[in-house]
Amino acid sequence: MNAIITASELASELAGERPPVVLDIRWQLSLAKAAGAPEFDGRAAYAAGHIPGAVFVDLNQELAGKAGPEAGRHPLPDLAVFGAAMRAAGVSADRDVVVYDGGQGWAAARAWWLLRWTGHPSVRVLDGGLPAWEGPTETASPAPHPGTFDPAPGATGLLDADEAAALARSGLLLDARAAERYRGDVEPIDRVGGHIPGAVSAPTTENVTDDGRFRPAADLAERFTSLGATGDPGQVGVYCGSGVSGAHEVLALAVAGIDAQLYVGSWSQWSADTARPVATGPDPQ
């Protein structure tokens, strides 16, 4: 099954006899808190209008665990918490799931990756997010029939810090952050700028068009092949700042037909450990 779905395809499926479960994962990385401004409120955005029947899922509370230097800013969630949230949203293993966010795609990709990693067989991301949706919206919160999904980790690839470092030497480790953070020119969030030695810069923003939709699969495949992806199992990994935009790059790779593993701790975990090496500049080493 394709990893993404268009708005017209979703509208058609929602009108069918067995519509998919739809999850609203609106979230965005914001530095506003440091400037004293309020952070983006995904729940408020959901309450103001969402795709009919969609259930809101909080990325920070239900798709991530407690942040800390040893785990990173968005570590894996407690599976009991994650599973309960999915079941409350109506998710079952035998029912399709569609996830969307405000258009950037990062938060939706995080939900897509987690559901796939924990064994759900049919999850797709709405290409272009809510801005691509041309149908009606609603403000009422649905009361879905509880689902039965039981998370079982391991269906897709997960890397820890040591495995990511090894893959940077033996295969291809892609850094999905902005190029200036990869080079170490700036670092607005973490302890230090730079990248994991051997990692290749591949900003996830280059996988989409100006409207936030993914570039054609053939174009994505050409891009990743030019970066060194061979398509061999277990030979491509991705990291980012905290395992959110990296999930979006894993999704882009899936659209291109390339399996990839995610280092969830990512730079927020790696850079917090002063014993780990840091490379700077435009070259991998």
Cα–Cα distance measured from residue 29 to residue 16, given in angstroms and rounded to the nearest whole number: 35
Cα–Cα distance measured from residue 134 to residue 149, given in angstroms and rounded to the nearest whole number: 30
Q: Could you tell me the sign of the dihedral formed by the alpha carbons of 197, 247, 211, 2, in that order?
A: positive
Q: Which amino acid is at 17?
A: E
Identify the CA nearest to 215 among candidates 202, 205, 227, 225: 205
Annotated catalytic residue: which of 99, 240, 250, 256? 240
Q: Which amino acid is at 29?
A: L
User: How far is the CA of 233 from the CAs of 98, 157, 217, 236, 274, in angstroms?
Assistant: 26, 10, 19, 8, 31
Known catalytic residue at 9: no
Q: Could you tell me the sign of the dihedral formed by the alpha carbons of 75, 190, 111, 255, in that order?
A: negative
Task: Please give the positions annotated as active site.
Answer: 240
